[in-house]
A and B are shown apart, each in its own frame.
Chain A
Amino acid sequence: MDFNLRTYLAQKTDAAPLAVFRLLFGVMMLFSLIRFWANGWIETLYISPKFHFTYYGFEWVKPLGAYTYLIFIICGISALLVALGLKYRLAIIVFFLSFTYIELMDKTTYLNHYYCISLLSFLMIFLPANAYFSLDSLLKKTSFRTIPKWTIDSIKLLLGIVYFYAGLAKLNSDWLFKAMPLKIWLPSKYDLPFIGENFMQQEWFHYAMSWSGMLYDLSIPFLLLYRKTRWFAFAMVVFFHVFTSVLFPIGMFPYIMIVSTLIFFDAKFHHNIIAIIKSIIKPFRSIYNIEYKEAYILKKQHIVLPILTVFFAIQLLLPFRYLLYPGELFWTEEGYRFSWRVMLMEKMGYTTFTIKDANTGSSFMVNNSDFLTPFQEKQMSFQPDFILEYAHYLGNHFSSQGHKNVQVFAESYVALNGRLSQPFIDKTVDLYKENESFQHKTWILPFQDEPSITNFR
């Protein structure tokens, strides 16, 4: 291989794809935030719950009461500024921080695509997305036609990781050989026009969807990279994401991914987009004369590159951290999040808590709805780290109410991918004495199934 890193890093490419990506990313984010607000979710998800499930190490990130709206406003304005390319560097930093803060407030709402957006916006902090077709370049009267090639490639790499790892995650026996969880999900879409009463009910269709979903995720980054298959791949992207958005309540994610994959197209395509936008805004066209320069030089490339190298190394390794834990990943969920395991399993639980006086032995059960929203209770019921955090909250709550020698026990039943529910948590363990850590949680009962789920990746 005569791949030369130095030569590669010196390569230039047209600045238009990154500029269009910046514009569309900002617009999609702004729209997502408005939609989130309009649905009333700021209130129902962040303000009305009494208690919030936090991320380990980020317990200090909490909703700020009515000021939570302010975070969304800041996040929305920064998204708009990113789209416009005005004060870009500051705007994307503010966007990354405010968006990530929002996501860290309560892990009940964790979604892979929110994580994806946090990562993308972090990456974009280091990219010259305002070098071309931006208000910054308009005000500075300087625009750059080319930028380092690696900057656009880094976005392609991140998107490629998202897809490919999502495909790797599907390489398990439940997905491939039991068509689970699609076999549960698809028949319930009986109310879809045309396909609901026939295809959705057929076993072969569940298998076809499982396998084609897996093949799609694994192959799409490569099909997008090669010019000859690019349009075919993009058609697949559109079809796949529109189809999933019809099937599942996944909000904006499909559209964000469709728009994001445009980055794989060549510069001519993006110049056409810019031309269309320019013709729309023609009446407002500025009288400024912009001086077009050739190559944009990243000022601190020697600092940026090591940062991004570490960033991508983490991205490549983090999804495999589950290998460090014993037991079935889908069952314990130790190392499950932040790994592009998207729509991968159907899991439900029912978890009740008993508060016991260690000295007298007297006990009572907790009514979860006194403390949690239905959504929080649902998420808590099958995820061990939620169960532990909630147990501590209950322990503290009842201790402060004057109960003595408080012990907290959980009785939990969880059903995974259509299997019958089975005991999930050791009900003899006082969870109030257990602490959150990255260690394996020994009080999770082992997954009983013959044969167990096999991960092929």
Chain B
Amino acid sequence: MIKKIVSVIVLALVIVACSSSDGDGDKKAADNFDRQTMLINWADNIIIPVFQDLNTKLESLVTAKDGFVATPNQANLDAFRTAWLNAYKVWQYAEMFNIGKAESTNYVYQMNVYPTTVADVEANIANGTYDLTHANNNDAVGFPALDYLLYGVASGDTAILNVYTTNTNAAGYKTYVSDLVNQMKSLTQTVLNDWTSGYRDTFVNSTANTATSSTNKLTNDFIYYYEKGLRANKIGIPAGNFSTNPLPDKVEAYYNQGVSKTLALEAIDAVQNFFNGKAYTSSTTANSFNAYLDYLNMAKGGEDLSTLINNQLNVARTKLQALDANFTNQINTDNSKMTIAFDELQKAVVLFKVDMVQAMNISVDYVDADGD
């Protein structure tokens, strides 16, 4: 009896194994995808170089700020603004890496929560005492608060300079803007130091497939950034996709009035480069989602997902490029172009969140409950 059953099972398996291998002969090139090389590529060629560059740009920001605080004149204001924009552009590459020290220090929430709350900024300056790390101050620090202090604190450059010179509390403004910049620099330095002194090894050696392993966490961060940081914050929320009416004052760099598109384009480049595993400082590419999906696709013989994702990101970029440099203008003149851009960004959310995650079989949440 036992022999019969075993032989039936074996026979069935042999038949299946043979019949299935006929049609799709070349799918068997199942050379293992080495996930660690993906983590190493992420850490060494993307994440650490991004934080190094951000740190350098913030160093320049500190220098420019020091010059401005010492001598608040138009030339120093311009230099300060330029340094702010240079650092803000690099920030678009860093925001998605909410892992390690960045996660434990709430780094992301102290760098780019917008719109900034002017009342909070002004209250802090008036009081002269504040804890910049406190969650209540997340909307009064970082790049958006600087955006206000550099472009929106008064109307016109002369009036802005007056705030830092002739205003009765000019010293308070100078101290606050100085503290903000120093804080951004010091937070970034902490995150960078952690990466270069040990966390990098922890990161690349966490190769398992669990909810807390590197690939899973960073994939979640990546998708979260794309869906929330890019799609919703930069486009959807100001365009009114989540509210009854458009909210043009919620664009990124609202007070600057000219770079919201620049920043959004940097962000979509950051997303696509990371997806393709493109090094931050050169054009070489190595293992990332793109290659992983190709590997998995080869194994299961499905759709060419990586191409679909790249194509969709390209379409979304085209729609972003069609927008006014100042999203506030775009919303006030023709908001439909904003919502079109949102719709195209949204399509890639589906590809990331459903198709890519399913292919990689990654859990998108941290609730661990039993399955069956």
- A residues sitting closer than 8 Å to B (CB atoms) are 39, 41, 44-45, 109, 111-113, 176-177, 179-180, 183-185, 187-191, 197-198, 201-204, 207-208, 211-212, 215, 219, 223, 226, 228-229, 232, 248-253, 342-343, 346, 348-350, 352, 362-367, 373-375, 377-378, 413-415, 418-421
Interface mask (B349-372 → A, CB under 8 Å = 1, otherwise 0):
111011101111110111111111
Q: Are B1 and A228 in contact (CB under 8 A)?
A: yes
Which residues in B have their C-beta under 8 angstroms from that of A415? Answer: 354-355, 358
Given contacts A249-B368, A250-B371, A253-B372, contact A207 B5 (CB under 8 A): no
Which residues in B have their C-beta under 8 angstroms from that of A248? Answer: 371
Interface mask (B303-319 → A, CB under 8 Å = 1, otherwise 0):
10100100000000000
Q: Are B208 and A375 in contact (CB under 8 A)?
A: no
Q: Are A365 and B353 in contact (CB under 8 A)?
A: no
Q: Other CB < 8 Å A-B pairs besides A44-B367, A45-B369, 19 of them?
A: A111-B370, A111-B371, A183-B300, A204-B20, A208-B16, A212-B13, A215-B8, A223-B5, A232-B2, A249-B370, A343-B371, A348-B354, A348-B358, A362-B244, A373-B365, A374-B364, A378-B365, A419-B302, A421-B350
Which residues in A have their C-beta under 8 angstroms from that of B308? Answer: 420
Which residues in A have their C-beta under 8 angstroms from that of B361? Answer: 184-185, 187-188, 346
Is B152 interfacial (CB 8 A cutoff)? no
Q: Are A251 and B370 in contact (CB under 8 A)?
A: yes
Q: Are A207 and B17 in contact (CB under 8 A)?
A: yes
Which residues in A have their C-beta under 8 angstroms from that of B366? Answer: 374
Given contacts A184-B361, A413-B350, contact A364 B243 (CB under 8 A): yes
User: B147: shortest Cβ distance to chain A, in Å?
Assistant: 24
User: A197: shortest Cβ distance to chain B, in Å?
Assistant: 5
User: A176: shortest Cβ distance to chain B, in Å?
Assistant: 8
User: A169: shortest Cβ distance to chain B, in Å?
Assistant: 12
Given contacts A203-B30, A203-B299, contact A41 B369 (CB under 8 A): yes
- 12 chain-A/chain-B pairs, Cβ below 8 angstroms: A180-B300, A187-B361, A211-B12, A215-B9, A249-B370, A348-B358, A350-B350, A352-B346, A364-B240, A367-B242, A413-B350, A418-B300
Which residues in B have their C-beta under 8 angstroms from that of A189? Answer: 209
Is B115 interfacial (CB 8 A cutoff)? no
Which residues in B have their C-beta under 8 angstroms from that of A204? Answer: 17, 20-21
Given contacts A187-B299, A203-B28, A229-B1, contact A375 B209 (CB under 8 A): no
Q: Are A348 and B357 in contact (CB under 8 A)?
A: yes
Which residues in A have their C-beta under 8 angstroms from that of B13? Answer: 207-208, 211-212
- A-B contacts counted at CB < 8 A amount to 151
- B residues sitting closer than 8 Å to A (CB atoms) are 1-2, 5, 8-9, 12-13, 16-17, 20-21, 27-28, 30, 32, 35, 207-210, 213, 232, 236, 240-245, 296, 299-300, 302-303, 305, 308, 346, 349-351, 353-355, 357-362, 364-372
Given contacts A364-B240, A421-B350, contact A190 B209 (CB under 8 A): yes
Sort A-B residue pairs by CB-CB distance and give the 9 closest, nearest first.
Answer: A374-B365, A251-B370, A188-B361, A375-B367, A191-B208, A111-B372, A413-B350, A421-B354, A420-B303
Docked Cα-Cα span, A342 to B27, in Å, equals: 28
Which residues in B have their C-beta under 8 angstroms from that of A348? Answer: 353-354, 357-358
Given contacts A215-B9, A350-B350, A367-B242, contact A375 B369 (CB under 8 A): yes
Q: Are B20 and A207 in contact (CB under 8 A)?
A: yes
Q: Which of B12, B245, B353 contacts A350 (CB 8 A)?
A: B353
Q: Are B359 and A184 in contact (CB under 8 A)?
A: yes
Docked Cα-Cα span, A184 to B300, in Å, equals: 8
Q: Are B241 and A373 in contact (CB under 8 A)?
A: no
Closest to B362 in A: A188
Q: Are B17 and A418 in contact (CB under 8 A)?
A: no
Closest to A417 in B: B358
Which residues in A have their C-beta under 8 angstroms from that of B243? Answer: 364
Which residues in A have their C-beta under 8 angstroms from that of B8? Answer: 215
Q: Are A343 and B372 in contact (CB under 8 A)?
A: yes
Given contacts A201-B32, A421-B351, contact A212 B370 (CB under 8 A): no
User: B210: shortest Cβ distance to chain A, in Å?
Assistant: 8
Which residues in B have their C-beta under 8 angstroms from that of A421? Answer: 350-351, 354-355
User: A344: shortest Cβ distance to chain B, in Å?
Assistant: 10
